Amino acid sequence: METDDLLQKKIIQQVSAPLYSAKGWMKFIGILLIVVGVFYALSIVGIIFAWIPIWLGILVTGAANKMDMAYNSGDKFSLIEAQKKIGLYFTVYGVLILIFLILTLVFFIVALSTGFLTEMISNIENSGMQYY
């Protein structure tokens, strides 16, 4: 029975080793996201979106802590929880990127259809500014 526990602990350590070696960077990114969220919250418009980087920072930091626990104790439930948090982090980030891309596309379509971009380029050319 004891050899089964040691074998399971060794397997969990091997599986969690790649993310365990990156736990310092995960914590750094998590703390940085929390700080960015706090700075967003200091502005009037930013307070609407400030919870997103704070939440993502908490997810990444929590995943790093769970990965540390899984590697050091061989706890498979900590490993599963860390992987769930990392999966949720990438899912949320992916959705945010898709939203950004869609909004950017909508902006360009609206700008082109209203003549905003051509008017802006025309104004730059008429002002004598040189751009490369």
Q: Is the pLDDT of residue 122 over 80?
A: no
Encoded tokens for 105: 């596309």
User: If you average pLDDT over every residue of the chain, what do you get?
Assistant: 90
Give pLDDT tens digits for 67-81: 999 999 999 999 999
- Sequence ranges of the domains in the chain: 2-93
- Give start and end residues of each alpha helix (H) in 1-132: 2-21, 23-41, 51-73, 76-114, 116-127
Q: Is the pLDDT of residue 34 over 70?
A: yes
Contacts 24+ apart (CB under 8 A), 44-48: none
pTM of the model: 0.78
Please give the pLDDT value at position 130.
62
Distance CA 34, CA 26 (A): 12
Angle 76-114/2-21 helices, nearest 10 degrees? 30
Give pLDDT tens digits for 35-58: 999 999 998 888 888 999 999 999
